[in-house]
C-alpha cells in the first residue's frame, strides 16, 4: 500500500508510529488475534516455585507503560465471541473478557477491535496519516527515572531485555548478586529459559 515500515526489535509493543513530538505524539501498539488475546490471558504455574503466574498480557502492558509513550493501544483482531467456544473448557467466559478489558483500561491503554488483518493495516495507515514526519530519532525506552533506587534501576535494565518482565527480573536478582554476574553466567542461570538465553546472547553479541 505504499508504506515501508522499518523492521527492528521493540522492547515493547508490535508497532511504533512516530510523531513529531517524540513520546508525547507517538503511538505504541500491541496487536493480537482474538485467539492470541485469549491465550495471553491464560496464566501458568511456575515449575520451580509452584506459584501461579498471570498471563503474559500484563507484563506486555507494563513494558508499554515503561516505554514512556503516552498513546498506547491494543488491537484485537477477529471475533473473540466466536473464539470463546474453543476456550470454554479452560474457564473462559464473556465476564472474564470484560474483566480483562477493565484491567487493560487501568494501564491507560485503549482497546481497538478490527475484523481481520486487512482492517488492522487500514487502521495503522489511518494513524500514520494523522502524524507528520518526526523531527528526530525516537528512543522507545525512556531513561530510568532519577528518583529510582539503584536496585530499581537494575530491575529496569533487566526488563529492557527480551522476555524479561518484572517477575523474571526479580527472579534474576535473587539468583545473581549483580547484573553483570547474570550476563557472565547466563548459560548456567535457572532464572530464564533456553530461548530467552539465546535471544539475550544475540543482543550482547
Segments making up each domain of the chain, as ranges:
15-130, 150-204
- pLDDT value at 98 more than 70: yes
Average pLDDT, the chain: 85
Beta strands in the chain (DSSP E): 15-17, 27-33, 44-45, 52-53, 71-77, 109-114
Distances (CA, A) of 163 to 107, 138, 169, 190, 195: 19, 22, 10, 14, 9
Provide the pLDDT for residue 50: 59
Helices (H), 7-113: 34-41, 56-66, 80-87, 94-105
By DSSP bridging, strand 27-33 and strand 15-17 are antiparallel
pLDDT digits (tens, 9 = 90+) for 177-205: 899 999 999 999 999 989 999 999 988 87
Locus of grid cell 502492558: 61
Q: Collect all residues with Cβ–Cβ distance below 8 Å to 41 and sequence separation of at least 6.
A: 55, 57, 92, 96, 100
- pLDDT value at 39 more than 60: yes
> Span 15-130: which CATH code?
3.40.50.10130
Q: Collect all residues with Cβ–Cβ distance below 8 Å to 25 and sequence separation of at least 6.
A: 19, 71, 131
Residue 103: band (very low, low, confident or very high) from pLDDT cuts 50, 70, 90: very high
- pLDDT value at 115 more than 90: yes
Amino acid at each position: 500500500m505504499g508504506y515501508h515500515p522499518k523492521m527492528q526489535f521493540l522492547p515493547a509493543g508490535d508497532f511504533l508510529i512516530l510523531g513529531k513530538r517524540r513520546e508525547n505524539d507517538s503511538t505504541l501498539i500491541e496487536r493480537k488475534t482474538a485467539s492470541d488475546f485469549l491465550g495471553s490471558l491464560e496464566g501458568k504455574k511456575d515449575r520451580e516455585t509452584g506459584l501461579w503466574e498471570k498471563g503474559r498480557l500484563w507484563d506486555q502492558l507494563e513494558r508499554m507503560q515503561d516505554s514512556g509513550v503516552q498513546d498506547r493501544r491494543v488491537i484485537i483482531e477477529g471475533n473473540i465471541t466466536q473464539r470463546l467456544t474453543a476456550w470454554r473448557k479452560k474457564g473462559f467466559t464473556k465476564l472474564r473478557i470484560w474483566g480483562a478489558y477493565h484491567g487493560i483500561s487501568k494501564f491507560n491503554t485503549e482497546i481497538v477491535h478490527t475484523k481481520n488483518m486487512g482492517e488492522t493495516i487500514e487502521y495503522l495507515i489511518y494513524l500514520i496519516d494523522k502524524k507528520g514526519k518526526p523531527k528526530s530519532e525516537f528512543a522507545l525506552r525512556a531513561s530510568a527515572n532519577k528518583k529510582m533506587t539503584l536496585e530499581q534501576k537494575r530491575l529496569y535494565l533487566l526488563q529492557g531485555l527480551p522476555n524479561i518482565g518484572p517477575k523474571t527480573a526479580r527472579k534474576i536478582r535473587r539468583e545473581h548478586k549483580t547484573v553483570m554476574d547474570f550476563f557472565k553466567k547466563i548459560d548456567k542461570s535457572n532464572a530464564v529459559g533456553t530461548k530467552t538465553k539465546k535471544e539475550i546472547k544475540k543482543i550482547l553479541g
